[in-house]
Amino acid sequence: MTTDLRSGDRRWRETVIGGGRPAVGLVRLHLDPTSNATTSLVRFPPGWTRPITGHYPCAEELLVIDGELVVSGSTYREGDYGYLPPHDPRSGSSASGVLGALVLAWFSGPATWTPGTAREQVTHLGSHSLGPAAHRPTRDGVQGRADVVRRLAPRDAPGTVELVSLQSWEWTVVQGEEPFPDLPGPVFRRFWT
């Protein structure tokens, strides 16, 4: 079963993201019970801002579905993907534009916001558009990998995989040996293991 990420028919939970104002709308789409990694749909209202610097102990991946989100000087627009490593400092974050931003966010573990910079410094990787060759390889301390394919082939890897059509903005999670659904390409695939 697929979910239309752009559909407004949701039970949004108003949530204050650490250091940010005003509250955002959040819908949890998937939770990995082993690692507490999550996938959430986040609606940043116009004018949302987080002017302070802070970090999460886990990695974050984001995919902008609508609008514009700025994080640490990188601007993410519709179709842009970003990977922020664990302890990557985030500063000067905001949602601009008339509608704010609608973002699909993956956290590799519990997303506990800590103000300030972490002891270990990392380099912010910025954003990029998701073309057919885009991918994120497996990284130390971060489960899974991600890539973009023109169209889905028969199931080529076991385990949990999330799929997002970059054409129709449909999302689904496929577990075990379930076959992939027929989604219009290109398709973003996020492998959990």
pLDDT in tens, 32-44: 888 888 999 999 9
Looking only at the bridges linking them, the beta strands covering 187-191 and 145-149 are antiparallel
Q: Is the pLDDT of residue 124 over 60?
A: no
The CA–CA distances, whole Å, from 67 to 79, 82, 99 equal: 10, 15, 6
Q: Is 123 in the same domain as 148?
A: no
pLDDT at 192: 80
Structural domain containing residue 164: 135-191
Q: Is 125 in the same domain as 168?
A: no
Would you say 126 and 70 are in contact if contact means Cβ atoms under 8 Å apart?
Answer: no
Q: Is 92 in the same domain as 155?
A: no
Q: Is 174 in the same domain as 149?
A: yes
Q: Is the pLDDT of residue 75 over 60?
A: yes
- Could you tell me the pLDDT band of residue 97, with boundaries at 50, 70 and 90? confident
Q: Is the pLDDT of residue 143 over 80?
A: no
Number of domains in the chain: 2
- Structure token pair of residue 55: 């970090």
Write down which residue in 129, 148, 171 finishes a domain.
129
Q: What is the mean pLDDT of residues 169-187?
A: 91
Q: Is 7 in the same domain as 37?
A: yes
Q: Is the pLDDT of residue 142 over 90?
A: no
CATH number at residue 42: 2.60.120.10
Q: Is 26 in the same domain as 118?
A: yes
